Structure 1
Amino acid sequence: MAFTTSDPQGAEPDPIPLKILIAGGFGSGKTTMVGSISEVRPLKTEEQLSTLSVGVDSVAGVETKRTTTVAMDFGRIAITPRLTLYLFGTPGQERFWFMWDELSRGALGAVVLADTRRLPDSFAAVDYFERRNMPFVLAVNCFDGAPRYLAEEVSDALALPPSVPVVLCDARHRESTKYVLTTLVGQVLARLTEAGQPPQ
């Protein structure tokens, strides 16, 4: 029996999967961002806030919040026919931070979602990705009624290096979330190219 091999020049290029983390403080909009963009029904692990969280989870600035992520959120979106993003939303409360190490395995980049009503909550995520030298974008989620600042002002407040993009967004809206993710993908691909590992 004769076997034939496909011509490499006519073969379809391999798909490029990218694992992306969506991180940030409690109530910053991570679950909303994943849900706004995912092409599949997003996996959510939300639970109702209860009296047991009083004194443990601060809801200052987000008093209307009634649920919280206790494990992760998951979604998927195809940016191009070859490039697919797999999104993993991290839990925001400090007592669940031990899960970040597991969720970050294999991730090539991250979005740090910031809420200007609770901007100091972003420091932990910023520090986490800086220490791991992982590319990330700081996305300011523009909540209704929240203080408005320029991207440069937020960057200065968080002492971010110039290499970290800061973008304003509304995590409820698909196109806004897509812009954030596209900005991050550009940064990730630029980092790979600088390292001599451009995607094939």
Structure 2
Amino acid sequence: MGSPESETRYEKRPGPSAEDALLATAATAVKVVIVGGFGVGKTTMVGSVSEIRPLTTEETMTEVSRGVDDVAGVETKTKTTVAMDFGRISLNEELVLYLFGTPGQERFWFLWKGLFDGALGAVVLIDTRRLEISFDVLGRLEDRGIPFIVAVNGFPDAPVHPTAEIRAALDLPPSVPIVECDARERVSSRDTLLVLMRYLYTLIDTNQER
């Protein structure tokens, strides 16, 4: 057993329940990844929107990480994801999303490859106080050809910028949706996922017309 400072918590239900069961009408399952830099709210989003108790791999941050992880702007953060977060949401009676939240620190990015395998799309969470931490994340998604939308997580002390300025700062094409969200709120997180699904459907229709 690890010390209280380094113990990884795996939060899951002890066994299946009626609440965890998939709807009998569920016909389509889609894998979606929630990505972003360190401390942008990925674990929070998966936890807020999941209809099952999410699996998390959060570890308490210690002095060992000082000088390794950049905590500028999130100095009060005490825990970090070291592997992944996992949740599930049924968007309707037939469509189910399996959600995988990625670790934010660059030293854990080697895990991304497996998490991206089979993913249909991604939500990129950003913090307007630290836009620069999103550049590498966006580059990796573009390199892998994974469609994504950008969700601006509304931190209380974060500056508010017009969408056009955010698009320009992140060098995003006009076709990529940018939405505002509050990762703490289930409805807001669900609506963000709905935007992603609509965007993916648009891409499918566009490809079929070519």
TM-score (norm 1): 0.89
Is the 2:121–2:196 Cα contact (8 Å) retained in structure 1? yes
Q: Give the number of the structure whose alpha-carbon radius of gyration is greater.
A: 1
Q: Which residue of 2 aligns with 1:44?
A: 56
Query: What is the root-mean-square deviation of aligned Cα atoms in Å?
Result: 1.5
Cα deviation 1:30-87 (Å, max 9, x = unaligned)? 0000001000000000000000000000111011100000000000000011100000
Q: What is the aligned residue count?
A: 186
Q: Which residue of 2 aligns with 1:91?
A: 103
Ranges of 4+ aligned residues in structure 1 off by more than 3 Å: none
Specify every segment of 5 or more residues in structure 1 that has no aligned partner in the other structure, as ranges.
1-11
Is the 2:48–2:184 Cα contact (8 Å) retained in structure 1? yes
Is the 2:60–2:80 Cα contact (8 Å) retained in structure 1? yes
Between the two proteins, what is the percent identity of the paired residues?
55
Q: Which residue of 1 aligns with 2:16?
A: none
- Distance in 2, matches of 1:20 and 1:14, equals 17
- Distance in 2, matches of 1:126 and 1:82, equals 30
The alignment partner of 2:151 has SS state of strand
Is the 1:152–1:166 Cα contact (8 Å) retained in structure 2? no
Instruction: From the superposition, tell whether residues 101 and 81 of structure 1 become closer, same or farther in structure 2 (CA, over 3 Å).
Output: same
1:196 Cα offset (Å): 3.3
Superposed, 1:1-200 pairs within 5 Å as 15-196=27-208
- Distance in 2, matches of 1:166 and 1:20, equals 17
The alignment partner of 1:196 has SS state of helix
TM-score (norm 2): 0.85
Specify every segment of 5 or more residues in structure 2 that has no aligned partner in the other structure, as ranges.
1-23
The alignment partner of 1:195 has SS state of helix
